[in-house]
Structure 1
Amino acid sequence: MEFSLGALIWIFFLLMALGPMWQQTKLNQKRYHLTRRFEKRRGSRLITLIHRQESFSFLGIPFSRYINIEDSEQVLRAIRLTPPDMPIDIILHTPGGLVLASEQIARALENHPAKVTAFIPHYAMSGGTMIALAADEIVMDCNAVLGPVDPQIGQFPAASILEAVRLKGPQRVDDNTLILADMSAKAMAQVEDFITYLLSDNLGEEKAREIAVILSNGRWTHDYPISCEFLQQLGLPVSTSLPPEVFAIMDLYPQPPQRRPSVQYIPLPYGEKEEIK
């Protein structure tokens, strides 16, 4: 059977299109099996909320990810399908996202009767921190971080908008800035009240309010990394006994491939007695 050059070209492009789809299917199978193994070992429901840039098409175009309404719909459905007496484990790796979606997820986790554990292998910022605070226990890598939950109004921090109005005086700013300041004050009060609600059951109203103010009043920039040591000093239920399976699951959510890797190393634990020849 003979093929023309045009037919061979079409077959080549077909294989180029189907190859990534097959690889994604195999990757999804590995994720499923590792997730089930983790669930059976802990007797829990595992939910992953992992936002990286993955290549979904044969062109390798990355898509930036963040917490959105679709995420909240999926997480809430997973929680509804979980029996009341079954613990929930959630792996968080996210830069944050929509406040509405983050609050929905956090509230649903807070209302789950059984224990909820949040695993943070690298970072969970902004809305990710809000979700982590809804857990009964936060388990982090010793180098992992959470972030402030101060609200952002457009491209500006709410606390900075209020500070600008305070410094200049209401009479010296325009109407748009005054409207933003009004929205900022409401947003900061809402976030503070919500964080207090999440923490009150475990820490009491007064301590919960104190932590809520620290995390939401804008004392840091929005990308400030908050370490597990500082979180422990605040009195939050944080530990660093992160199971190795969490990192194995993270490996199944790779960044898009690049011709020249920005980080490279030999993936072996070097021993003290190892000789290099």
Structure 2
Amino acid sequence: MPSWHQLLEEIKVKGSTFDVVRRQYLAKLHRVTGRNVIIYYSGWLQKPGMRGVQVNDADKNGFMTVIHGLDRSKGLDLLLHTPGGETAATESLVDYLHSMFETDIRAIVPQLAMSAGTMIACACKDIIMGKQSSLGPIDPQFGNLPAHGIVEEFKRAADEISRDPSKVPLWQPIIARYHPTLIGECEKAIQWSNDMVREWLVRGMLADHADRDSKAAEIVSELSDHALTKSHARHLSAAKCKAMGLNVFMLEDDRRLQDAVLSVHHACVHTLSATPAFKMIENHKGVAFLQLAQQQLVLEGPVNTEQPAAPLPAPSPTPPATPPAPEEAAPHKNS
């Protein structure tokens, strides 16, 4: 008979009923595709304002955890559901994924992969989307303000003042909010994001295209042009993304794959809605890196799929990070 402590440890390993159900469908998706499967899910829709829901450097630990022990020759299907996040963290994460799987990565977007999530999708060889799926613009943000918008506003002010100096008092309180190096930093951030995605497209998704350089430039231009997209929150459908030139395949074309993907998606959304989890990185073997409200939990080992288990333990407090003030130079974010 196991001791009290042994039973407690067994409960922790098996996880909650949500974990059991979600992992059943993750294993099923793996059986359908024959490829490694990793979910990268954020709960920003279920937990608005929660710190840590965006792409950040802490996510690298999660991917290291779930990739360890996988047969990397089988490639990777990466299920993305994220609002975006830090540009530097996104670049580092993609570099790591490429070092593990080279370009044999498919992005699957059941619902939303915005901003930096779109950048990650562009780093994959194919993107699988449904009629309900959306990508988003990749223009970077500074303190939750679009870098393109800041540059455009500054240029507009300069043009109007040069034509009519009497408008200086109208523009002065607006321009006064900008610190001395902000415009230059915005321009560099825009160039950084564009160059990054262009390089990934040329090396991966468009590698077999004869005109891959010009095609990649066209795609990046459409994804990053604030004048075209109008808003950083713009939702770009599968049809629009395909028209841009991205390798988009419709989820509805394969009924078995659609059923398996959407089952995983719904199980993830239920987990994010009904538990303290706000970010999940997990593979088809049940190895997970879950970030709960002020707690991180790593679960490894086989999952009992025959009976429900006890809920996850209550979170322990850890000090949250303080977000940057809008007026100061914050980490470049594509979110």
User: TM class, shorter-chain normalised?
Assistant: 0.7 to 0.9
Query: What's the CA shift for 1:175?
Result: 8.5
Greater displacement, 236-245 / 175-184: 175-184
2:76 matched to 1:74? no
**Mapping for residues 103-252 of structure 1, pairs under 5 Å:** 103-111=91-99, 112-113=101-102, 115-169=104-158, 173-174=175-176, 176-201=178-203, 202-203=205-206, 204-219=212-227, 220=229, 221-241=231-251, 243=257, 244-252=259-267
Distance (Å, rounded) in 2 between the aligned partners of 1:54 and 1:238: 25
Give the secondary structure class of the aligned counterpart of 2:137. coil
Quick check: which one's strand share is greater?
2
Superposed CA offset, 1:33-80 (max 9, x none)? 32222223322111101112699xxxx999562222222321244345
AA paired with 1:99? T
Q: Aligned partners of 2:177 and 2:49: how far apart in 1?
A: 40
Shift in CA distance, 135/23, structure 1 to aligned 2, threshold 3 Å: same
The offset of 1:144, in angstroms, is 0.9
Shift of the alpha carbon at 1:169?
Answer: 1.9
Q: 1:99 to 1:80 in 2, by over 3 A?
A: farther
Aligned to 1:85: 73
Amino acid of the structure 1 residue aligned with 2:120: I
Where does residue 289 of structure 2 map in the other structure? Answer: none
Q: Which has the higher contact order (CA 8 A, sep 6+)?
A: 2
Q: Is the 8 A contact 1:45 1:88 kept in 2?
A: yes
Would the alpha carbon gap of residues 101 and 23 (structure 1) be closer, same or farther in structure 2, given more than 3 Å must change? Answer: same
Q: Structure 2 vs 1, CA of residues 81 and 183 (structure 1 numbering), >3 Å: closer, same or farther?
A: farther
> Percent same amino acid among aligned pairs?
25
Partner SS, residue 79 of structure 2: strand
Deviation per CA, 1:207-263, whole angstroms, max 9, x where unpaired? 112211221232321000111111111111101125211111122221535xxxxxx
> Partner letter of residue 87 of structure 1?
G
Q: 2:32 aligns with which of 33, 38, 41?
A: 41
Q: What code does the residue aligned with 2:32 have? A: R
After superposition, what is the alpha-carbon deviation per residue over 1:148-197, rounded to whole angstroms, capped at 9, x for unaligned?
01000112110111112111229964483442111100000000100101
AA in 2 matched with 1:246: V
- Structure-2 change in CA distance of 1:178 and 1:54 (3 Å): closer
Kept in 2, the 8 Å contact 1:158–1:185? The answer is yes
* Inter-partner Cα distance in structure 2 for 1:246 and 1:134: 20
The alignment's TM-score, normalised by the length of structure 1, stands at 0.74
Distance 2:158 2:193 in 1: 25
Q: Structure 2: which amino acid aligns with 1:188?
A: I
Q: Distance in 2 between matches of 1:206 and 1:130?
A: 18
Cα distance change on mapping 1:192 and 1:61 into 2, 3 Å: closer
- The CA deviation at 1:199 is 0.3
TM-score under structure 2 length normalisation: 0.62
Structure 1 residue 134, shift from structure 2 partner: 1.1
Output the amino acid matched with 2:125: D
1:87, 1:116 within 8 Å by CA — same for their partners in 2? yes
Moved more, 207-216 or 138-147: 207-216
Residue 127 to residue 114, structure 1, CA distance change in 2 (3 Å): closer
Give the stretch that moved more between structures: 235-244 or 46-55. Answer: 46-55
Say which one has the larger Rg: 1
Confirm or deny that 1:29 pairs with 2:39: no
What CA RMSD, in Å, does the superposition of the two structures yield over aligned residues?
Answer: 3.1
